[in-house]
A and B are shown apart, each in its own frame.
Chain A
Amino acid sequence: MTTQLQPVELGSVIAPTVAGRSPARMAWKRITRDKVTMVALVVTVLFLVVALVAPALTALTGWGPITPDGRAIDPDTGNFPRGALGGISLTHLLGVEPGTGYDLFARIVYGLRTSLFVGFASAVLSTVAGVVAGLAAGYFGGWVDSVLSRIMDVMLAFPQLLFIIALTPVIQNALQTNSHGGTDENLRLGVLVVNIAIFAWAYTARLVRGQVLSLREREFVDAARLMSAGRRHILFRQLLPNLWAPILISFALAVPQNITTEAALSYLGVGVIPPNPDWGSLLSDASQFFLQDPAYLFVPGVLLLVLVLALNLLGDGVRDALDPRAHRG
């Protein structure tokens, strides 16, 4: 019989370009076409830049986050800012803090640093932990999966805020080494990051586990086993590349979530300790003067809203770009 190969299937007839379009490049193309996501991206980048160059910005205005301006507040009114809208002027772009006379612009740009640092650091931590736990649970199955899944269930069922409120001072005191009794700010930030991550990794782990459960049944995993591939190869070379989309999505959505949690914790008094600048404690402070000085509450409130909204929309955009079939109304 004639066994000539039919050349009809040769790819040469399909497209003249040879360069492969990688999934990442296609995703980026979809992001750039999505206006909402692009706006969110621009806003996010703007926030990031402002946070990065915060010292330069305050140097320009001449007011640091904890440099009081005695002339901007009026002792006769109970140290409320002089002028309208909480003392907004050319010297103090966003006004000053009632009582202390700190420059609000400086406090907000420095507070942004805190928010973004805690948000990103805890998201990185929880994502790494969640991916490792999810990979292990999904791939190994059996008792490993049972144990990890039960731990995840417990973590997800925990009253997170309540627990962190109770835990933070305890951990802080246990780790605190300085003898003079004050609270170490860097340590507090670290404790915050770890605490938030402890209650966030289970979301990622669960997501990754589910994906791994379906991926490990695919035949390319069997093919890898037939090549005598070890566990590490199968987990990190075969499965992990297929998980970048859900991992990136859960990371992108964890950042704004963690920023909100951090703000809430600071608002409740277990986050960043005043007078160190932070949006949550700013809001908490401002709520006391809401009637007399609404601008004080308004500015950080709106900024927090814009930041979290931009990060969330960016996360949604990333999800749509990486997984174009789902989530399209």
Chain B
Amino acid sequence: MSTTQPIREPQAAPAPGGKLLEVTGLTKHFPIKTGVVFQRQIGAVRAVDGIDFSVGAGESLGLVGESGCGKSTTGRLITRLLEPTAGSIVFDGEDITHKPAVKLRQARKNVQMIFQDPYSSLNPRHTVGTIIETPMRLNGIEPPQGLKKRAQELLETVGLNPEHYNRYPSEFSGGQRQRIGIARALALRPKLIVADEPVSALDVSIQAQVVNLLQDLQREFGIAFVFIAHDLAVVRHFSERVAVMYLGRIVEIADRETLYARPRHPYTRALLSAVPEADPDAVERRERIRLTGDVPSPIDPPSGCRFRTRCPKFAQVLSEDERTACMDQEPELTDRAGGNPVACHYPETVELS
């Protein structure tokens, strides 16, 4: 990134062992209500149902899973756009789980978000300059070089022409709009950016550019990322650690190399086997695991292991006795017989062919 002007010094190295973000038992249930005037709750969509993970300073954690598995909800809980039902979120040593918005001011400077839809994430009636300056104005930040200059620097950082300061979002393409959104997220110099499927709405040829931009920014400014995506290839490219979610829970979490080479959870294996392969020989060699049926309803998830209804191992490999554990006991996300944490009673041990 030779064209980029350094905006600030890279962040100080994280305190050893210190975690920037620690999430424990995080839960979000959306109540289902009935009745017009006197509403009563008849159930809940268990969008996120007790998840634990942590993100170190400057680290990038990938969060993958099918549509509706709760990954976006998780992102919105971390940024406190949603109020958690249970669990705790500790950011930079500060418990922000239930802090009211007025007291979140300080934490919010440090946690920003890049949104999925570049068309709805920018106010169509604001100029690019206004969009990027607003976070600084609202937080009383007065850059020494002036707001306008700083906004233009940010535009340059994300690879846009600073002269387009006075233009409106409608005059830009999807990829350019996403860059504007990134510049806005950078304006407050956050320590953590939650990127909620930042490239899934973009053209494939543009996706790589935006991911590369994010990667450059992460390296240059030492920003930690929670990178939410359903595209495993993108996550592999971007995130050092990857957590796989299924129906509101994390089923497996591992560093990139381990997860892609030796996935232990049957669901992770199925996901990875579905990644398109460019090499036709490899396609022949590879065993494609097909999942049958739909994702069960998060209103009433299956007992025991949530994946058992679609698990190929449960259906074909396990004995009757072994299955009882899957049906009765919800597997915890723990290191089973060494290796990375996995929420499966019978994790796989072999490498993915």
Among the stretches B14-22, B48-56, B208-216, B335-343, the one at the interface with A is: B208-216
A23 touches B125 (CB 8 A): yes
Instruction: Give bound CA distance, A3 to B209, whole Å.
Output: 9
Name, among B122, B134, B188, the residue most crowded by chain A CB atoms within 10 Å (CB to CB). B134
B228 vs chain A, min Cβ distance (A):
14
- How many residue pairs at the A-B interface have CB separations less than 8 Å? 114
* Total interface residues in chain B, CB < 8 Å: 54
Q: What's the Cα separation between A237 and B123 when bound, in Å? A: 10
- Report the Cα distance A29→B242, complex, angstroms: 52
A228-B108 in contact (CB<8A) = yes
* Bound CA span A18–B116, Å: 28
Contact stretch, chosen from A217-225, A268-276, A285-293, A298-306: A217-225
- Given the interface pairs A3-B216, A11-B176, A22-B168, the reply to whether A220 lies near B120 with Cβ below 8 Å is yes
Q: In the complex, which of the residues B4, B108, B134, B161 contacts A11, with contact meaning CB atoms closer than 8 Å? A: B161
Q: B164 contacts A11, CB within 8 Å?
A: yes
Q: Is B33 an interface residue (CB 8 A)?
A: no
**A21 near B113 (CB under 8 angstroms)?**
no
**Chain B residues positioned under 8 Å from A227 (CB to CB):** 108, 134-135, 138-139, 188
Asked whether A5 and B138 contact (CB < 8 A) given A20-B171, A21-B171, A225-B101, the answer is: no
- 28 interchain pairs, CB-CB under 8 A: A3-B1, A3-B216, A4-B1, A5-B216, A6-B209, A7-B159, A9-B175, A9-B176, A11-B161, A20-B164, A20-B167, A21-B171, A23-B124, A219-B117, A220-B120, A220-B123, A222-B81, A222-B121, A223-B121, A223-B184, A226-B79, A226-B113, A227-B134, A227-B188, A228-B138, A237-B134, A241-B125, A242-B124
Please tell me if the beta carbons of A226 and B215 are within 8 angstroms of each other in the complex.
no
> Please, which residues of chain A bring their CB within 8 A of the CB of B117?
219
A10 interfacial by beta-carbon distance below 8 Å: yes
Contact A9 B173 (CB under 8 A): yes
- B97-133 interface with A by 8 A CB criterion: 101, 104-105, 108-109, 111-113, 115-117, 120-127
Q: Which residues from chain B contact A21 at a C-beta distance below 8 Å?
A: 168, 171
Asked if residues A224 and B113 are in contact (CB atoms below 8 Å), the reply is: no
**Complex alpha-carbon distance, A212 and B147, angstroms:** 30
Could you tell me the distance in whole angstroms from the C-beta of B169 to the nearest C-beta in chain A? 9
Instruction: List the 5 closest pairs (A to B, CB-CB), nearest first.
Output: A241-B125, A219-B121, A20-B167, A227-B135, A219-B115
